Chain A
Amino acid sequence: MSALKYAWLTYRRETLWFPLAFLVFFVVIAWMMRRPDIRFAIARGYLGFMLPLIGGILAAYAVLDDPALELRFATPTGAARTLLTRLIPILGVQAASGIAFQLFARGMAVDFSPLGGQVAVQMAWIVPTVVLGAVGTSGALATAHCATGAFLTGAVWLVQLLMRGWILSNCGMLYMFMGVLEPRHPDLRLSQTSLIVASAALAVVSWRLLRRQERYL
């Protein structure tokens, strides 16, 4: 727990303002809209699209954007523990943002039922957040540049948004926005499972990359 406390304290403050700013922005926009269908669209846009994108970008910077990286590498702390302690606070921030937004949205009488039940609503943002987090982390570690990891996150996000029809018909198992855009798709469960497995594979890749510490100094 102490390691997590310090991982939290050592994040750059602007990293934490970034998701908070988007949360406030979307809450205000949703509050200003009066039509329930528009409020739902805004809520879906934040939970399903913005939250995962922010998570992926934060994850790209989580490990390597560390001023004491060389000191950390000189300790016996393993790559797996480093990944966990640097990424858990990001997941925590994203989870807090997601829950806070849903509370505001429900206070504004936004109806999330078109996305399915409670579990389906949560999976609709958790799955793409985990996927983009894995893409951001592994991209940054593979190229040894945080910005490249963030760029890859944005590229995957954009391609998935713009090429929805093509991806759904050719490799629907890897369509991460199925939970928000196609909540009644028969392959939804299978797709989400595939995406979590793919994210786990990227996490293993990240772990292996991080063991080659000299690449990052």
Chain B
Amino acid sequence: MSGRVQIGISGLVKTYGRGGRTVRALRGIDLEIGAGMFGLLGPNGAGKTTLMRILAGIAHPTSGTVRIDGHDLATEAGRRATKSILGYLPQELGIYPELTAAQFVDYMAILKGLDDARRRKRRVAEALEMVALENAADRKIKAFSGGMKRRVGIAQALVNDPRLLIVDEPTAGLDPGERIRFRNLLVTLADQRTVILSTHIVEDIGQTCRELAVLGRGRVLFRGTPAGLSRIAEGHVWTVTRPRLEEPKPGTTIVSMLHLEDRVQYRLVGSRVDGDPGAEPARPSLEDGYVRLMQAEETGVGG
């Protein structure tokens, strides 16, 4: 392992045409990403996947600059250099069902330029061992569960021993046990790499990342630590217990409901709850901070 990478994103804009109209997927992103595990959070359509694809050298910026370890991703040479240190797990993992896990990872290793057959064989075995698939290496992928396919995806991402690992919505569709295992694996990998985890599952970020950014409508809404994001909701989180279900007040979001014997306990995020005699302030979680940030984004009011 030859170390982590530094990523600098400045004024990044990405537009593309869809059905005769122009979509602005990214509207001036500025980010610095350093060592360890970095989380990208945001609702569907926030621009996360577009940003991931630009960082992976697949999509080209419309304007602005992206530098990875000094390589400018606006140039073919820069993209190629980045891809040579990259491990990438896309949101929609396409695999060849007729290949075995070992064959698939071996093929990806060839595409990544691992031409020495002996070294490649060793790396394939190591990558499959890292994701605990060494005993299933010779089984066809079509017989794998969703979680095993995701692990094959991570194995192919790791086979070239990448310094930069980009994973886009990696835990979507996994059962709780597999999700936890996958998160732990990513944290372990981030010890020696820069890992960018993109997701809309807040819990995944809170459990793994020291730093994160929240994207919304193509802009960075927040950049900081998970604790910092939680603090955005301070003074705006409440628990209210009522005998029956009610519509929340405008500007308030129910983040959870707990059915008690004859009542329902709501956890609410919003400023309009203050003054309700039954409302008790609660300590904000990461999810509360995220919800509060999204409320502020929708209403145009600062958190």
Contacts and interface: CB of A to CB of B under 8 A. Distances in A.
A81 to B, nearest CB: 9
A67 B117 CA distance: 25
A162 B52 CA distance: 49
A77 B58 contact: no
A71 B94 contact: yes
Given A71-B88, A74-B90, A213-B58, A6 B83 contact: no
Chain B, interface residues (CB within 8 Å), range: 20 to 34
A13 B142 CA distance: 14
A6 B95 CA distance: 13
A117 interface: no
Contacts of B88: 71, 74
B117 A76 contact: no
Interface string A31-73: 0000000000000000000000000000000000011111111
Nearest to A211: B76
B111 A3 contact: yes
Contacts of A76: 80, 83-84, 112-113
Contacts of B83: 74-76
Interface in A173-217: 211-214, 217
B110 A3 contact: yes
Contacts of B60: 212, 214
Contacts of B16: 214
A143 to B, nearest CB: 14
Contact of A9 (B58, B86, B98, B113): B98
B36 to A, nearest CB: 21
Interface in A6-25: 6, 9-10, 13
A169 interface: no
B98 A77 contact: no
A2 interface: yes
Given A6-B103, A70-B92, A75 B108 contact: yes
Given A10-B107, A69-B94, A214 B84 contact: no
Contact of A67 (B58, B76, B94): B94
A217 B90 CA distance: 11
B24 interface: no
Given A9-B96, A211-B76, A2 B117 contact: yes
Contact of A70 (B80, B90, B99, B110): B90
Contacts of A74: 56-58, 83, 86, 88, 90
Interface in B1-36: 16
B282 interface: no
B110 A68 contact: no
B53 interface: yes
Given A70-B58, A74-B88, A75-B83, A10 B96 contact: yes
Contacts of B96: 9-10, 67-68
Closest 9 pairs (CB-CB, A-B): A67-B94, A74-B88, A214-B59, A6-B107, A75-B111, A76-B83, A68-B94, A70-B90, A10-B96
Given A70-B90, A78-B80, 20 more contacts: A2-B106, A3-B110, A3-B111, A6-B110, A10-B98, A67-B94, A69-B94, A71-B93, A71-B111, A72-B111, A73-B56, A74-B56, A74-B86, A76-B80, A76-B112, A77-B113, A211-B76, A214-B53, A217-B58, A217-B59
Interface of A: 2-3, 6, 9-10, 13, 66-78, 211-214, 217
13 contacts: A6-B107, A10-B96, A68-B94, A68-B95, A68-B108, A70-B90, A71-B90, A71-B156, A74-B90, A75-B111, A77-B112, A211-B76, A217-B59
